[in-house]
């Protein structure tokens, strides 16, 4: 029951509010305690105290107190509001919304609660609720433009474009005189309205509207681009041409403008006659500026044969004479066309022979780079032969060495050399060379990162961290690694995790992957402040872009890169729970040992683990002593110490498949065309016996690549497990399976189906591997034969090192004996003599 406070306490309570707002928490606490001494059951005071406790970092106490406060006073909007605020602070948005709604029901005209609720609804994408909240806020304060704009955004995002436009127009009509040109908010709102009209598909009206407001717009580029786009899509080619030419005058390096201009002139790149006019067009722009690159480079995309040669020659000469290091990267996109690749190779090889390679005759203005042209040519050829479409590693190495002879101090040349070693498969040399390149310019963070990456590829995790530490803030909690986490350095954490995964240190690998998973969560939450901020700033178009980007945040390749290996590790953990004890590296294969050996090995592993734990505890103890004050993060918030730096708890999970599902679901939702993601998804679902989800993964893969080897093997596995279910599926499910699972024809036996697949793809190592794996799972008696054939795939033309590694992993997954594995390794070593992967096993 709500209690009445005496007037003295009431003023204390008001003070308490002020203290909280001004963040004087200690004073606030004292105040609250004073009130509570006289009124121990006063809910509002308890709630405020809870809020202060939460702000001071005592979240658990805060929740307990807030609950007690609610018990004392269910009808107080303050208690419910505080409850909502607490939930919001721990990111439990759904519960927070419920609490806010209660608070709002008790006090419907409280603006603060209404606003907080609206923000949360937007965050949760509850558009219907958001619309309602926004309407209430607009009614409460119609004089504020923001409220109108926000209402329009609510309509827009929920898909009702007409209503959104109407809201914006209604507000405009109430303006007594046109706002000055400098009114940024007005200008933005007009452009926002224009994009809404355009999105509704009425381009003609959008154009008219745009032309009526153009005069007052401050974002010139946006207006010009929109106008040109509308003109083009309306077919007003002459006007569109003029518009795009104007845009090109502003920025002549933007490909999209050129492409649009071609469309305006209705020129087809594939049409021989048009090509001449296209060339003339680009020539015109190339001549307009000595410095423009785009106009010179783009024609190489569509010219062919002799024409291509005559155009490519001056382009390459120009770039190489200037010594532009990115020349190769700039033209390598052309290599997908084999004849262009050939032409470029001939041209540049020609340059290298036509020039005197020792002591140039012509004097260059910069004396010390007198042979810059030759160097650029050599560097180009080194990259050319290193590129996968034109790979010839010995030649690449030869040219790199020649270039290095002339300029041994060049970071770029050494970097390319490291890359060549990597392609040879010699990670050790690659890492050493990259480190040498780094030592040539220690102030360059780029080469520093490259070096760390190559060290990670070579399993030198500690060296890599040391390398990174040269550029991190090392006084943060957790040292360099802590700083990399704070700064959300995705690439490093990903590579570190992948490196640990390759070494079999699954605890640490999962730890890193989880860190990235959490970073995506952080980005999801980062938008929260902007639901109010962007509207206030009036930057609505950018805000809508952000909302839409957040909606498909996890389609980013970075997510797939960690989600797939993480899910794979969890699947492995499910298959072999004993892996969880192998924290510090690959564990001995317990299955192969006899009982006493196994006991011994396990004991040893346990002892080592204990030893490490002890060392860890000591280190932490020492750290605690050193750090007198509380560690703080980059935003000044106190940072909690990581209780599980080795990822032990992650590894010891009771539900590996549940964890795997968490990683896989966003992947399947946002990147459905990622085959590897679908493959992993299948592995997870078939182990969880969710056959329909597994089937969906298969069908999805089949729609992208029907001949995918993993798909083939998984299809057979699914058919096999469906045929041998211990208890039948529910009739409805089996009906769905029957009608949808048509990847294998009905009247064919699985092994026949598999054999025909193998013979169909006789030349491809990857496909054969899929077929052999399927054969192995159909009949384990065929193992010897399969092993032989697998080793045979190493002789195929076109197999690369990755194929070799995949084959090795497959061989081990069958539990092949040591003799076979070493036979495989030998064959692989013969094929890739420089590679370091096959030496130990």
Establish how many alpha carbons lie within 13 A of residue 59's alpha carbon, considering only the half-sphere containing its beta carbon.
9
CB nearer to another protein: pick between 36 and 222: 222
Nearest approach, Cβ of residue 669 and another protein (Å): 10
CB nearer to another protein: pick between 741 and 824: 741
Nearest approach, Cβ of residue 693 and another protein (Å): 6
Q: Tell me how long the chain is.
A: 841
CA–CA gap between residue 195 and residue 165 (Å, rounded): 10
Nearest approach, Cβ of residue 112 and another protein (Å): 6
> Residue 43: phi, psi to the nearest 5?
-60, -45
CB nearer to another protein: pick between 736 and 758: 736
CB nearer to another protein: pick between 39 and 54: 54
Q: Classify residue 721 by its DSSP letter.
A: H
CB nearer to another protein: pick between 255 and 322: 255
Nearest approach, Cβ of residue 699 and another protein (Å): 6
Nearest approach, Cβ of residue 594 and another protein (Å): 42
Q: Tell which residue, 682, 684, 723, 685, has the closest CA to residue 699.
A: 682
Q: Classify residue 325 by its DSSP letter.
A: T
CB nearer to another protein: pick between 10 and 256: 256
Nearest approach, Cβ of residue 6 and another protein (Å): 27
CB nearer to another protein: pick between 304 and 486: 486
Nearest approach, Cβ of residue 547 and another protein (Å): 14
Nearest approach, Cβ of residue 176 and another protein (Å): 5
CB nearer to another protein: pick between 447 and 695: 695
Tell me the β-bridge partners of 638: 632
Rama region for 126: left / alpha / beta (φ>0; ψ in -120 to 50; rest)? beta
CB nearer to another protein: pick between 136 and 213: 136
Helix (H) / strand (E) containing 105: helix 93-106
Burial of 493 (0-12, 13-18, 19+ CB in 10 A): buried
- Give whole-number Cα distances, 372 to 288, 324, 381, 416, in Å: 27, 10, 14, 17
Alpha helices (runs of H) in 460-505, residue ranges in sequence order: 461-468, 479-486, 490-503
Nearest approach, Cβ of residue 96 and another protein (Å): 17
Nearest approach, Cβ of residue 151 and another protein (Å): 8
Nearest approach, Cβ of residue 156 and another protein (Å): 10
Q: For 642-687, what is the HEC assignment?
A: CCCCCCHHHHCCCCHHHHHHHHHHHHHHHCCCCHHHHHHHHHHHHH
Burial of 829 (0-12, 13-18, 19+ CB in 10 A): middle
- Give whole-number Cα distances, 824 to 423, 589, 768, 795, 827, in Å: 20, 19, 16, 11, 5
CB nearer to another protein: pick between 679 and 776: 679
Strand boundaries in 14-126, DSSP class E: none
Nearest approach, Cβ of residue 744 and another protein (Å): 16
Q: Tell which residue, 241, 248, 243, has the closest CA to residue 262.
A: 241
Report whether 516 contacts 490 (CB < 8 A): yes
CB nearer to another protein: pick between 226 and 509: 226
CB nearer to another protein: pick between 138 and 264: 138
Q: What is the DSSP string of 339-398?
A: HHHHHHHHHHHHHHHHS-SSS-SSPPSSGGGTTHHHHHHHHHHHHHHHSGGG--HHHHHH
């Amino acid at each position: 029951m709500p209690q009445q406070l005496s007037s003295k306490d009431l003023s204390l309570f008001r003070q308490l509010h002020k203290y909280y707002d001004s963040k004087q928490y200690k004073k606030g606490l004292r105040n609250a305690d004073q009130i509570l001494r006289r009124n121990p059951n006063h809910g509002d005071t308890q709630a405020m105290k809870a809020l202060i406790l939460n702000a001071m970092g005592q979240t658990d106490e805060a929740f307990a107190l807030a609950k007690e406060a609610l018990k004392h006073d269910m009808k107080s909007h303050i208690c419910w509001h505080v409850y909502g605020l607490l939930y919001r602070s721990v990111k439990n948005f759904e519960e927070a919304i419920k609490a806010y709604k209660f608070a709002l029901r008790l006090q419907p005209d409280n603006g603060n609660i209404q606003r907080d609720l609206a923000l949360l609804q937007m965050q949760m994408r509850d558009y219907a609720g958001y619309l309602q909240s926004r309407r209430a806020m607009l009614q409460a304060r119609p004089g504020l433009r923001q409220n109108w704009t926000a209402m329009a955004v609510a309509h827009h995002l929920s898909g009702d474009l007409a209503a959104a436009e109407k809201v914006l127009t209604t507000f405009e009509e109430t303006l007594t005189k046109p706002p000055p040109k400098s009114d940024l908010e007005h200008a933005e709102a007009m452009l926002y309205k224009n994009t809404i009209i355009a999105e509704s598909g009425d381009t003609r009206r959008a154009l008219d509207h745009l032309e009526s407001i153009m005069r007052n717009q401050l974002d010139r580029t946006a207006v010009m681009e929109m106008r040109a786009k509308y003109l083009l899509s309306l077919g007003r080619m002459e006007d569109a041409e003029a518009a795009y030419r104007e845009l090109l005058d502003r920025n002549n390096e933007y490909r999209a403008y050129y492409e649009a201009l071609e469309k305006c002139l209705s020129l087809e790149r594939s049409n021989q006659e048009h090509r001449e006019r296209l060339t003339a067009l680009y020539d015109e722009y190339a001549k307009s500026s000595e410095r423009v690159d785009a106009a010179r480079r783009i024609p190489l995309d569509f010219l062919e044969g002799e024409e291509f040669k005559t155009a490519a020659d001056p382009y390459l000469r120009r770039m190489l004479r200037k010594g532009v290091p990115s020349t190769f990267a700039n033209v390598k996109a052309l290599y997908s066309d084999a004849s262009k690749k050939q032409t470029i190779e001939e041209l540049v090889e020609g340059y290298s022979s036509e020039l005197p390679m020792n002591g140039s005759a012509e004097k260059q203005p910069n004396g010390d780079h007198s042979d810059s042209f030759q160097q650029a040519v050599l560097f180009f050829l080194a990259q050319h032969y290193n590129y996968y479409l034109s790979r010839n590693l010995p030649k690449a190495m030869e040219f790199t060495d020649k270039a290095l002879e002339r300029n041994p101090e060049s970071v770029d040349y050494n970097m390319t050399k490291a890359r060549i070693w990597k392609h040879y498969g010699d990670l050790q040399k690659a890492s050493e060379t990259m480190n040498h390149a780094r030592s040539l310019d220690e102030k360059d963070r780029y080469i520093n990162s490259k070096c760390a990456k190559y060290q990670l590829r070579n399993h030198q995790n500690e060296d890599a961290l040391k390398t990174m530490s040269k550029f991190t803030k090392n006084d943060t909690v957790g040292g360099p690694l802590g700083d990399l986490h704070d700064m959300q350095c995705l690439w490093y954490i990903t590579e570190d995790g992948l490196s640990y995964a390759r070494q079999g240190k699954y605890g640490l690998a999962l730890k890193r992957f989880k860190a990235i998973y959490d970073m995506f969560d952080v980005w999801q939450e980062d938008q929260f402040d902007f639901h109010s901020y962007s509207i206030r700033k009036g930057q609505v178009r950018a805000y809508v872009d952000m909302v839409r980007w957040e909606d498909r945040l996890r389609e980013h390749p970075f997510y797939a890169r960690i989600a797939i290996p993480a899910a794979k590790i969890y699947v492995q953990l499910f298959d072999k729970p004993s892996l969880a004890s192998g924290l510090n590296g690959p564990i001995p294969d317990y299955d192969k040992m006899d009982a006493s050996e196994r006991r011994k090995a396990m004991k040893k592993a346990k002892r080592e683990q204990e030893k490490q734990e002890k060392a860890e505890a000591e280190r932490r103890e020492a750290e605690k002593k050193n750090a007198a004050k509380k560690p703080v993060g980059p935003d000044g918030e106190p940072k909690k110490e990581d209780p599980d730096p080795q990822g032990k708890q992650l590894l010891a999970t009771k539900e590996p498949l549940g964890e795997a599902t968490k990683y896989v679901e966003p992947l399947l939702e946002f990147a459905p065309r990622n085959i590897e993601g679908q493959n992993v998804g299948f592995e997870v679902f078939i182990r969880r016996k969710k056959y329909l989800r597994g089937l969906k993964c298969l069908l999805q893969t089949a729609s992208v690549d029907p001949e995918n080897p993993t798909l083939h093997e998984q299809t057979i596995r699914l058919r096999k497990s469906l045929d041998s279910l211990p208890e039948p599926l529910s009739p409805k499910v089996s009906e769905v399976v029957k009608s949808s699972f048509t990847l294998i024809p009905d009247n064919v036996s699985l092994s026949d189906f598999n054999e025909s697949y193998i013979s169909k793809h006789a030349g491809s190592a990857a496909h054969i591997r899929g077929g052999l794996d399927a054969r192995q799972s159909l009949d384990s008696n065929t193992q010897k034969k399969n092993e032989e054939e697998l080793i045979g795939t190493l002789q195929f033309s076109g197999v690369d090192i990755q194929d070799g590694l995949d084959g090795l992993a497959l061989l081990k997954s069958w539990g092949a004996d040591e003799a076979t594995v070493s036979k495989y390794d030998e064959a692989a070593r013969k094929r890739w003599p420089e590679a370091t992967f096959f030496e130990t096993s």
